[in-house]
Amino acid sequence: MKNSIKDNLIEKLEKNQALITIIGLGYVGLPLALNYSEKGYKVLGLDIDESKINSLKKGISYINSISEERVKNAIFSSSLEVSTDYAKIKNADALIICVPTPLNKNKGPDLKYILNTMQFIGNFLRPGQVISLESTTYPGTTEEELRPFIENKGFVIGKDIFLIYSPEREDPGNKKYNTSSIPKVMGGSTNECSEVGKALYYKVTTEVVEVSSTKVAELTKLLENIHRSVNIGLINELKPLADRMGIDIYEVIKAASTKPFGFVPYYPGPGLGGHCIPIDPFYLTYKAHEYGMHTRFIELAGEINEGMPAYIVDKTTNALNEIEKPLKGSKVLILGMAYKKNVDDIRESPSLKIMNLLKQKHANVSYNDPYIKVIPITRNSELVLESIDLNEENLRSFDAVILATDHDSYEYDMIEKNSNLIIDTRGKFPLKENIIRA
Give the model's pLDDT for residue 382.
56
Give the model's pLDDT for residue 383.
57
User: Please, what sign has the CA dihedral across residues 174, 179, 180, 182?
Assistant: positive
pLDDT digits (tens, 9 = 90+) for 180-236: 889 999 999 999 999 999 999 999 999 999 999 999 999 999 999 999 999 999 999
Give the model's pLDDT for residue 283.
85
Average pLDDT in the 7-26 region?
97
CA–CA distance, 256 with 391 (Å, rounded to integer) = 37
CA–CA distance, 167 with 139 (Å, rounded to integer) = 11
The pLDDT of residue 1 is above 60 = no
pLDDT digits (tens, 9 = 90+) for 69-106: 999 999 999 999 999 999 999 999 999 999 999 888 88
Q: What is the largest CA-CA distance in the chain?
A: 81
Give the model's pLDDT for residue 104.
84
Amino acid at 363: A
The pLDDT of residue 338 is above 60 = yes
Give the model's pLDDT for residue 103.
86
**Catalytic (active site) residue 276:** yes
Report residue 107's pLDDT band, with 50, 70 and 90 as the boundaries: confident
Amino acid at 12: K
pLDDT digits (tens, 9 = 90+) for 411-427: 999 999 999 999 999 99
Question: In the CATH scheme, what is the code of domain 307-437?
Answer: 3.40.50.720
Greater model confidence, 375 or 404: 404
288: left (phi over 0), alpha (psi -120 to 50) or beta: alpha
pLDDT digits (tens, 9 = 90+) for 359-385: 999 999 999 999 999 987 655 555 568
The residue annotated as part of the active site, out of 56, 164, 196, 276, is 276
Ranges in the chain annotated CATH 3.40.50.720:
4-211, 307-437
Answer whether CATH 3.40.50.720 is correct for domain 4-211.
yes
The pLDDT of residue 247 is above 60 = yes
SS (H, E, C) the chain: CCCHHHHHHHHHHHCCCCEEEEECCCCCHHHHHHHHHHCCCEEEEECCCHHHHHHHHCCCCCCCCCCHHHHHHHHHCCCEEEECCHHHHHHCCEEEECCCCCECCCCCECCHHHHHHHHHHHCCCCCCEEEEECCCCCCCHHHHHHHHHHHCCCCCECCCEEEEECCCCCCCCCCCCCCCCCCEEEEECCHHHHHHHHHHHCCCCCCEEEECCHHHHHHHHHHHHHHHHHHHHHHHHHHHHHHHCCCCHHHHHHHHCCCCCCCCCCCCCCCCCCCCCCCHHHHHHHHHHHCCCCCHHHHHHHHHHHCHHHHHHHHHHHHHHHCCCCCCCCEEEEECCCCCCCCCCCCCCHHHHHHHHHHHCCCEEEEECCCCCEECCECCECCCEECCCCCHHHHHCCCEEEECCCCCCCCHHHHHHHCCCEEECCCCCCCECCEEEC
User: How does the average pLDDT of the chain come out, rounded?
Assistant: 93
Give the model's pLDDT for residue 379.
52
pLDDT digits (tens, 9 = 90+) for 160-188: 999 999 999 987 777 788 888 899 999 99
CA–CA distance, 144 with 355 (Å, rounded to integer) = 40
Give 41's contacts (C-beta < 8 A, 6+ positions apart).
Answer: 16, 18, 19, 20, 79
